[in-house]
Homo-oligomer: A and B are copies of this chain.
Amino acid sequence: MKRAGNNQFLKQFNQTAILDLIRIHGPVSRAELSKITGLSPTATGIIVSGILEQGYIFETGTGKSKGGRRPVMLQLRPDSFYSVGVDIDIDYVNIMVVDITGNVVYEKAEFMAYTCMCQLTVSRIEYYIKVALDFLHIDSSKILGIGISIPGMVDSRTHEIILAPNLKWENIFIKDYIKRFSNIPVYVENEAMASAICENWIGACQGIDNFVCINVKSGIGAGIFTGGRLYRGTGGSAGEVGHISVHENGPKCGCGNYGCLETLSSTVSMVETARKLVRQGVVSRMNSFEDVNEIGLDQIVECARAGDEAARGILSESSRYLAIAISSIVNTLNPSKIVIGKEFVKYADLVMEHIKSIVSAKALRLPAMNVEIIASEIGQKSSTMGAAIVPLKVLFGK
């Protein structure tokens, strides 16, 4: 099993295309590939041989015969190559290893206090990746690439991190900080866009051209697909839906504006409201916590599930503003699907009907009828997984 240099392999479009067809249709025979691509059986055979030699696929048993000899089937070889996904946020780093088929073979969440320090963070990440590869007994030469998801703006061509305000990173080429794995290609991706890539590759949005993935956590951001492709916008900052104005005289946002969606629907805003209510002495189960600072999203959700009105009110109000923003997105983008993910999945079942009914009342009839709004089934790890998929997308020419 041989593999050419990371940026050299599968030079030809045809090879990439056939490898991608094996991914999508496998197990699949050479004859079927020839039929799908329109390439001659001979040309198909030569390309398949090349891919077999490089180790990405293997021959697996025999398929159904349509008269003659039963054809040999081709399939991706899961243990051939792998990809690493890393999700960096203010206080944690998630590491994931997926195989070439997209199966997760390793994942680990690591608390990390000083992600604002880039060199330190990258060193720790390299260490975590080493631990993962040792655990899996995988040589680093089998790693197609490292995808890194960042809560900020990236330049997808140069892989520069332009600005990640929460990490306080600006104009950073993360590749420059990588020492141990300096031979492995590194890709950076915006966190919400990584989630959208994940939903499109293996999640709820496979084969869907126009969709929006909204991540609710300490901030709110979205990854948008238009016409089957990730839409980045002109400067790479498309999808900043957390800063849609939903309340003209609402609270001041970190961005300087007032009444941004984030100030009313992020987990931070919900927790702040809860603590404020408790301080004000509202009648609520949330009063049972000794220290008001113990109250986080999990506590609010727990109280809401136990029927606490104040906690339910917080989730409901936050979701109402989320639904107002979603209505604007539905009217503007007319997507087939909206997937809400990250922390939202913790309380999705409590608020989803509320959100749907508001969107159905507020958005125009036809686009509202056309859109399906769901909670992500992948949830918290969608960005890490999306980051891991980025090198796979490169391999499969997507």
Contacts and interface: CB of A to CB of B under 8 A. Distances in A.
Interface of A: 153, 162-163, 209-210, 222, 224, 226-227, 229, 231-241, 243-248, 255-257, 324, 327-329, 331-336, 361-367, 370-371
A13 B47 CA distance: 27
Contacts of A234: 209-210, 334-336, 367, 370-371
Contacts of A227: 226-227, 229, 231
11 contacts: A210-B233, A227-B229, A232-B334, A234-B334, A235-B367, A237-B364, A240-B367, A244-B331, A244-B332, A245-B362, A257-B327
B162 A248 contact: no
- Could you say how many copies of this chain the assembly holds? 2
A257 B362 CA distance: 5
Contact of A240 (B210, B335, B364): B364
Contacts of A232: 334
Given A226-B227, A235-B370, A247 B248 contact: yes
A251 to B, nearest CB: 14
Contacts of A153: 366
Given A234-B370, A240-B332, 11 more contacts: A226-B226, A233-B333, A233-B367, A235-B334, A235-B370, A237-B370, A239-B332, A240-B364, A246-B248, A257-B362, A257-B363
Cβ-closest 6 pairs across A and B: A233-B334, A238-B334, A240-B331, A244-B328, A234-B336, A235-B370
A334 B246 contact: no
A314 B234 CA distance: 33
A328 B245 contact: yes
A329 B227 CA distance: 18
A210 B232 CA distance: 10
A163 to B, nearest CB: 7
A332 B241 contact: yes
A365 B235 CA distance: 11
Contacts of A243: 327-328, 331, 363-364
Nearest to A245: B324
A324 B260 CA distance: 11
Contacts of A248: 246-248, 324
